[in-house]
Structure 1
């Protein structure tokens, strides 16, 4: 979802995409340069992206990747599939937020489903007295609160 969101924002070379996912919040994805190229190849086979060769003077030609209409539709479906999106772990949630930051509308129902799921998970953690003092539980509660706050700000 992150790669498609980046390409929806603007066409880019594979190297630029791999650099974007290696820096800032997307670094949480942990995608290596070869993994980004593998994702781009898979998306090209699905018809979601296409490449246009661009001359680079004395350097080898570069391929600029563009999101196709089919790819934009696939991204929109991923973002609006409430059942799938509601269960996103933290890392793909960052990709969804990237799409929002790139100006893509995230359906209100999708955002609300994410908030509801996180609130439910938080309530379960807060009710678990057996593990309330554990560092893992404390971190999980903090992460969920931050996610809820961020998602609610988008509603």
Structure 2
């Protein structure tokens, strides 16, 4: 069963709310309940109006962002390092307070998203090389509160 919910503002495609009702003696009644629930969501605008991912919306935002080039580069660098790897593939409709709190907790633990893997070695040179005293075990450092904001 599906109910039309409008045009997706990002993809410009039709957006539908869908649900599968198992066959059986109560199927007609369950289908009608789901239909009524979906129509109420559409009327109240409680349904996600897009199936876009966080990455897609960030790309769209960067297209219209009007800031200095250095500010833009800083935003892109932070988005690519922190937001896109952890939240980028997530559909915006599934983004909620619990997900954001979990994301913020990761940023407060380690700016490199190591997950507490202190055994990792931070190399100062890329590629093959003989490690020196500059290559040392990873130490988790949190992101500053202002950066998280």
Both structures adopt the same fold (TM-score exceeding 0.5): no
The interval holding the TM-score normalised by the smaller chain is: under 0.3
Name whichever structure is richer in helix by fraction. Answer: 1
TM-score (norm: length of structure 1):
0.26
TM-score (norm: length of structure 2):
0.27
Q: Which has the larger radius of gyration?
A: 2
Structure possessing the higher relative contact order (Cα contacts under 8 Å, 6 or more residues apart): 1
